[in-house]
Amino acid sequence: MTWSTLLGRWLAAAALLAATFSGSRLSAADAKPPSRLVTGEQAVQWLSKGSEPRKLIALESLRWNSPHDAAYTRAIIDGLTDAAGRRTIPPSQFRATRVLAGSPLPEADVALQRLLTAVDWRLQMTAADALGERGTESAASPLLQCWSTPAAVENYALRHAVVCALGDLKGTQGLDGLIRLLPELDGQLRYEAVSRLMLRTGENRGDKTEEWVAWQSGRDPNWSGRIVTDDLPAEIPWNRVLPRFFRVPIYAKRVLFVVDMSGSMKSTVEGKTRLEATQDELTNAIKALPEDSLFGVIAFNDRVQPWHLQPMVATSENKQAAIRAIWTLSAQGRTAINDALETALGYSGYLEQILLLSDGKPTAGKLVDNAAIIANITGRNEFRRVRIDTIGLDSSGEAERLLEQLSEQNHGQYHKLR
């Protein structure tokens, strides 16, 4: 084998590796067939006994040719059965788990449920996502068992995946599981559970556990558990007064504000600069945070300026210190969105939500291309599962599309402000 052949194979594998860790929700516009497709017996051999680059190529080929072939499914299952006991998981196994979500064979459900006990919690998380995508109702019990494991206790991302998967299952067992978990959920996970219950039932019972238990007891035995609505109501009853940032409610208990302080924030709207409006909103949001929250603030222009390098407990003293720091900020320089989000995702511990506010397109930092920023940030967030909500101040064109796609691919929502 020549060096050029080896190089070509490794470059192809590297491209697939980037896709593997750039998030599981790729847009159709970004999807392109690989330069080489393998099918039939060759694909099965590569999946079963091939090198890591060959496995990645074979798995990517399945997206474009016979992804539900029984022989492919069984070859994938054999590889995942071996991977479940490993402490070090190659990228091909995460990719294989996602591919298995689309198999029509019942063996796929069994294999994915077994992966919920894998040694590597990231494989458990990926399996939970796949089970949610498949929607098989019998996955509810294994998912609830996974919730109680030490891995789930230690890893927010795994808990997030289990809650989301339960809400996506067909029938009623997943919803019953969410109602069972509701008393022990807080912050963003409580919102994720409640929002899924509301979408599936059409009921606006907020986070009141007793009302969901009453609905559960009184529902029609023949109710199918189908999705009733695609939209949540504007107001959801909650057990506490929620902080808001530019009208966006904050359910999370570990939240990071990432705010644009570039030169364009000097612009005036209704007699107040964008900077002053942002400072007012930050002040009010921070004051309203419950004291059992953790929070942080990152301001950015050409440079990234974190208030602290880790989230701080929302004590009165810390709130006042953050507010004082906020009012020393000035609007100048360019816009390094990528670098600010990289810093945010590098915080120690775990975050539940990032609120990113910007009024312009990226013009500074390591990356300024939209697609590159989205791939980088979504990849870094793959096993953190932080909800990234984006707020655009008079954003339009490419700047707005970046904010839309960042939120869409990172469990969040885009909010447009004028």
Q: Looking at residue 323, which CATH number applies to its domain?
A: 3.40.50.410
Write out the H or E segment, with its range, that includes residue 294: strand 294-300
pLDDT tens for each residue of 276-295: 999 999 999 999 999 999 99
Same domain for 279 and 192, yes or no, is: no
Count CA atoms closer than 13 A to 57's CA, side-chain side. Answer: 20
> At 219, is the pLDDT very low, low, confident or very high (cuts 50, 70, 90)?
very high
Same domain for 175 and 234, yes or no, is: yes
Number of structural domains in the chain: 3
Would residue 232 count as lying in a domain? yes
Q: Could you tell me what percentage of the chain is helix, strand and coil, using 3-state DSSP and rounding each to the nearest 5?
A: 50, 10, 40
88/123 Cα distance (integer angstroms):
10
Same domain for 284 and 331, yes or no, is: yes
Would residue 159 count as lying in a domain? no
**pLDDT for position 34:** 59
Would residue 390 count as lying in a domain? yes
Q: Is the pLDDT reported for residue 13 higher than 90?
A: no
Would residue 158 count as lying in a domain? no
**pLDDT for position 359:** 85
What does R_g of the chain's alpha carbons equal in angstroms? 23
Same domain for 122 and 32, yes or no, is: yes
User: 38-42, 153-157, 241-245, 414-418: which has the minimum mean pLDDT?
Assistant: 38-42
Q: Are 82 and 50 in contact (CB under 8 A)?
A: no
Same domain for 342 and 297, yes or no, is: yes
Same domain for 231 and 256, yes or no, is: no
278/286 Cα distance (integer angstroms):
12
Burial class (CB in 10 A: 0-12, 13-18, 19+), 274: buried
The number of angstroms, rounded, from the C-alpha of 31 to the middle of its chain's C-alpha atoms is 20
- Structural domain containing residue 273: 244-417
Write out the H or E segment, with its range, that includes residue 392: strand 387-393
Q: Of 143, 160, 192, which one is at a domain's C-terminal end?
A: 143
Q: Of 143, 161, 191, which one is at a domain's C-terminal end?
A: 143
Q: Is the pLDDT reported for residue 24 higher than 50?
A: no
Would residue 195 count as lying in a domain? yes
Same domain for 183 and 204, yes or no, is: yes
User: 11-20, 186-195, 266-275: which has the minimum mean pLDDT?
Assistant: 11-20
Token look-up 């109702």 returns: 137
Same domain for 307 and 228, yes or no, is: no
Q: What is the mean pLDDT of residues 96-117?
A: 93
User: 5-19, 23-37, 191-205: which has the minimum mean pLDDT?
Assistant: 5-19
What is the DSSP track for 207-247? T-HHHHHHHHHHS-TT-------S---S----SSPPPEETT
**pLDDT for position 235:** 83
417 pairs with which residues across the strands? Answer: 393
The amino acid present at 276, given as its one-letter code, is E
Same domain for 306 and 193, yes or no, is: no
The amino acid present at 409, given as its one-letter code, is Q
The pTM for the full model equals 0.90
Q: Of 194, 213, 239, which one is at a domain's C-terminal end?
A: 239
Would residue 324 count as lying in a domain? yes
> At 16, is the pLDDT very low, low, confident or very high (cuts 50, 70, 90)?
very low
**pLDDT for position 49:** 86
Highest mean pLDDT among 32-41, 223-232, 296-305: 296-305
Same domain for 213 and 249, yes or no, is: no
Q: What is the mean pLDDT of residues 250-267?
A: 96
Would residue 381 count as lying in a domain? yes
Write out the H or E segment, with its range, that includes residue 22: none
171/140 Cα distance (integer angstroms):
10
Same domain for 413 and 309, yes or no, is: yes
| Residue 358 phi, psi dihedral angles, 5° rounding | -150, 155
Would residue 273 count as lying in a domain? yes
- Alpha-carbon distances of 193 from 188, 197, 228, 294, 355, rounded to whole Å: 9, 6, 16, 21, 20
Same domain for 122 and 191, yes or no, is: no
The number of angstroms, rounded, from the C-alpha of 258 to the middle of its chain's C-alpha atoms is 17
The number of angstroms, rounded, from the C-alpha of 229 to the middle of its chain's C-alpha atoms is 22
